[in-house]
């Protein structure tokens, strides 16, 4: 009998690193996870220790293989998915980072962004990269490192340094410094990459004074990125798939065709709509990004992010002490028939897409003498669905404007998608089915699928579409007029957060 074939996904996130062993059918065999230290040097700054990221990622990979009871010889390929935009610069000879990694949430590069806007580069950057000028993206973080780490500019000019997002850093380590590479989906988050040509853009590099020698080679998301050095996991394993976490989740949800949408309910919420080979500029507050690609031909997605999604449940627990554990929120919310007119807008750090109101602050409106903690808990939970509905409506408007159809269903994943009350309310607001898959670890699964495509485990994305299975479909039960009314109440509450 032939040896069973497994796929190993490395899922390097903001708060932890995980490794998951999957069967070719997409079932989870074993998982290992370790938390990552968060470093806050001053308000608005967030850093990670890149060497710690590598250490714990390798440790979870070894642990997952041990838990699965398999050897490297039984692993067909490794796939990598990662927190996006987080920026690492390291010395090519020593492999040592020149500074802590600057995390996607970090805002220190805002002065550089203001300069770019003042120079009138907003339209150029949007046309070439699909992105808005924002400190969220990697390019301005990279410039900050070159400007502020002593000797960095001189070393960069001499070709001694390498830049990478976390995928590049992990591949460098896994291949023992042999390969400096990234994929199109991660490259598209740097504000330095032309998503039409799939090349680093000389004008944008020049605008930020970044030498081209720093940049990794860019490949399709499903392609051979090198081999894991045999000493690390007990044998050489091809690295066959790489994608940023949200594009990987879109792929893991089998959203391969234009018009298909997924929403990840995590600390924040990230919604992506595949737009096929069509680069669409949003007229409704969304950004355009490269989707995970299986060929050299560019593919795109519209993306919107909600800053506070599941984090509102942590606020109920840690701020209001309304619950002791996050798992209690559904029963508390269900102890009342509705939110009793209460609306929570959790704009703790401003509002993201489609509003883009950085100065907005959280509010609770509609309180009466009869309002209880249960009403506030229900309203807090509903706020996740309201924000996601506003995103999906913006996407639908963009799709129709571009000659496509309105969105017909929403595929969901992430920690909060297990909450049935939330998913039902989401379907009610949207008036379309909300579909939860059998495997909700879609981010890691997407990386595994990409690696499997490269190494012949799967023949095509059609085969992956057949593997995707729904665990539950939530169908709308609310009258469309009532749903419209509820959204109008939400929008009214949003307006009040920025008075």
pLDDT tens digit string along 61-89?
999 999 999 999 999 999 999 999 999 99
Give dist(CA 273, CA 260) in Å, integer: 6
Tell how strand 217-219 and strand 300-306 pair up.
Answer: unpaired
Per-residue pLDDT at 315: 85
The tens digit of pLDDT for each residue in 191-231 reads 999 999 999 999 999 999 999 999 999 999 999 999 999 99
Confidence of residue 314 (pLDDT cuts 50, 70, 90): confident
Is pLDDT of 156 > 90?
yes
Lowest mean per-residue pLDDT among 232-236, 354-358, 441-445, 490-494: 354-358
Specify the pLDDT at position 324. Answer: 82
Whole-number pLDDT of residue 467: 92
Q: Is the pLDDT of residue 448 over 70?
A: yes
Where helices occur in 130-267 by DSSP H, the ranges are 138-148, 152-157, 166-174, 184-187, 202-207, 230-233, 245-252
pLDDT tens for 258-297 read 889 999 988 788 999 998 888 888 888 888 999 999 998 9
Strands 237-244 and 6-12: unpaired
- Which pLDDT value is given to residue 209? 93
Percent of residues, the chain, with pLDDT higher than 70: 99
How far, in Å, are 281, 282, 287, 394, 395 from residue 401 at the CA level? 10, 9, 15, 11, 10
Parallel, antiparallel or unpaired: strands 261-265 and 193-194: unpaired
Q: What average pLDDT does this structure show over 297-324?
A: 85
> Sorting pLDDT into bands at 50, 70 and 90, what band is 175?
very high
Q: How far apart are CA 197 and CA 208, in angstroms?
A: 20
Count other Cβ atoms within 10 Å, centred on residue 495: 13
Q: Which residues contact 358 (CB under 8 A, 6 or more apart)?
A: 350, 351
Structure tokens at 180: 């400096």
- Using DSSP's 3-state secondary structure scheme, residue 126 falls into helix
**Beta strands at 343-345 and 410-413: parallel, antiparallel or unpaired:** unpaired
Place of tokens 């992990």: 170
Radius of gyration of the chain (CA): 22
- Decide if pLDDT at 483 tops 70: yes
Rounded Cα–Cα distance for residues 24 and 184 (Å): 24
pLDDT at res. 102: 94
> Running DSSP on this structure, what letter comes out for residue 351?
B
| Residue tagged 């004074």 (tokens) | 209
The span from the CA of 114 to the CA of 134, in Å, is: 9
CA atoms within 13 A of residue 435's CA, in its CB half-sphere? 18
Place of tokens 């990221």: 53
- Asked if residues 242 and 252 have their Cβ atoms less than 8 Å apart, the reply is no
Q: If you average pLDDT over every residue of the chain, what do you get?
A: 91
Lowest mean per-residue pLDDT among 173-187, 260-274, 290-304, 404-418: 404-418
Residue 1 pLDDT: 31
| pLDDT at residue 37, as a whole number | 86
pLDDT given at position 258: 87
- DSSP H helical ranges for 226-370: 230-233, 245-252, 311-318, 329-333
How far is Cα of residue 169 from the mean position of the Cα atoms in its chain?
A: 18
231-248, pLDDT tens digit by residue?
999 999 999 999 999 999
Residue 348's beta-bridge partner residues? 350
pLDDT in tens, 31-68: 999 988 888 888 778 899 999 999 999 999 999 999 99
Region for 95 from its dihedrals, namely left if φ exceeds 0, alpha if ψ lies in -120 to 50, beta otherwise: left
Q: Which two tokens stand for residue 396?
A: 């639908």
pLDDT of residue 3: 60
**Two tokens at 8?**
């190993």
Mean pLDDT of 421-444: 92
With 90 as the cut, is the pLDDT of residue 167 above it? yes
DSSP symbol at 234? T
DSSP assignment of 119-135, as one string? TT-HHHHHHHHS----T
pLDDT at residue 453 tops 50: yes
- Residue 498 has φ and ψ, to the nearest 5°, of -120, 20
The two structure tokens encoding residue 289: 């990004």
């Amino acid at each position: 009998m032939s040896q069973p074939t497994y796929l190993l996904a490395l899922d390097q996130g903001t708060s932890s690193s995980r490794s998951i062993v999957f069967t070719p059918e997409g079932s989870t065999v074993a998982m290992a996870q370790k938390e990552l230290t968060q470093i806050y040097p001053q308000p608005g700054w967030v850093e990670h220790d890149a060497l710690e990221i590598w250490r714990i990622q390798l440790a979870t990979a070894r642990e997952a293989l041990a838990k699965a009871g398999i050897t490297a010889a039984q692993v067909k390929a490794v796939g990598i998915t990662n927190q996006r935009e987080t920026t690492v610069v390291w010395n090519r000879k020593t492999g040592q980072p020149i500074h802590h990694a600057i995390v996607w949430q970090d805002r220190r590069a805002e002065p550089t962004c203001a300069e770019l806007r003042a120079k009138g580069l907003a339209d150029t950057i949007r046309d070439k990269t699909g992105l808005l000028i924002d400190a969220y993206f990697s390019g301005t973080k990279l410039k900050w490192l070159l400007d502020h780490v002593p000797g960095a500019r001189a070393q960069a000019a001499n070709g001694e340094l390498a830049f990478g997002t976390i995928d590049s850093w992990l591949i460098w380590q896994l291949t023992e410094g042999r390969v400096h590479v990234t994929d199109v989906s991660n490259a598209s988050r740097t504000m330095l990459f032309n998503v039409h040509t799939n090349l680093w853009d000389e004008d944008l590099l020049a605008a930020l004074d970044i030498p081209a020698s720093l940049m990794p080679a860019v490949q399709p998301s499903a392609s051979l990125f090198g081999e894991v050095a045999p000493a690390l996991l007990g044998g050489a394993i091809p690295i066959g798939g790489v994608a940023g976490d949200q594009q990987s989740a879109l792929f893991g949800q089998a959203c391969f065709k234009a018009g298909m949408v997924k929403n990840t309910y995590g600390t924040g919420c990230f919604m992506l709509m595949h737009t096929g080979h069509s680069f669409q500029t949003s007229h409704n507050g969304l950004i355009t990004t490269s989707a995970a690609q299986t060929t050299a031909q560019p593919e795109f997605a519209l993306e919107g992010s909600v800053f506070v999604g599941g984090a509102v449940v942590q606020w109920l627990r840690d701020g209001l002490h309304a619950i002791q554990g996050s798992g209690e929120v559904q029963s508390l919310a269900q102890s009342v028939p509705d939110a009793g007119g209460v609306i929570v807008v959790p704009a703790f750090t401003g509002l993201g897409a489609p509003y883009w109101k950085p100065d907005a602050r959280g509010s609770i409106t509609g309180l009466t003498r009869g309002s209880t903690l249960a009403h506030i808990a229900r309203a807090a939970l509903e706020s996740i669905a309201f924000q996601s509905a506003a995103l999906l409506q913006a996407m639908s408007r963009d799709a129709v404007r571009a000659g496509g159809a309105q969105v017909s269903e929403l595929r969901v994943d992430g920690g909060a998608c297990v909450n049935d009350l939330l998913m039902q309310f989401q379907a009610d607001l949207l008036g379309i089915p909300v579909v939860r898959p059998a495997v909700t670890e879609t981010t890691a699964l997407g990386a595994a699928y990409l690696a499997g495509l490269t190494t012949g485990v799967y023949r095509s994305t059609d085969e992956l579409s057949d593997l995707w299975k729904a665990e539950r479909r939530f169908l709308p039960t609310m009258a469309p007029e009532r749903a419209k009314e509820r959204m109008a109440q939400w929008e009214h509450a949003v307006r009040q957060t920025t008075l």
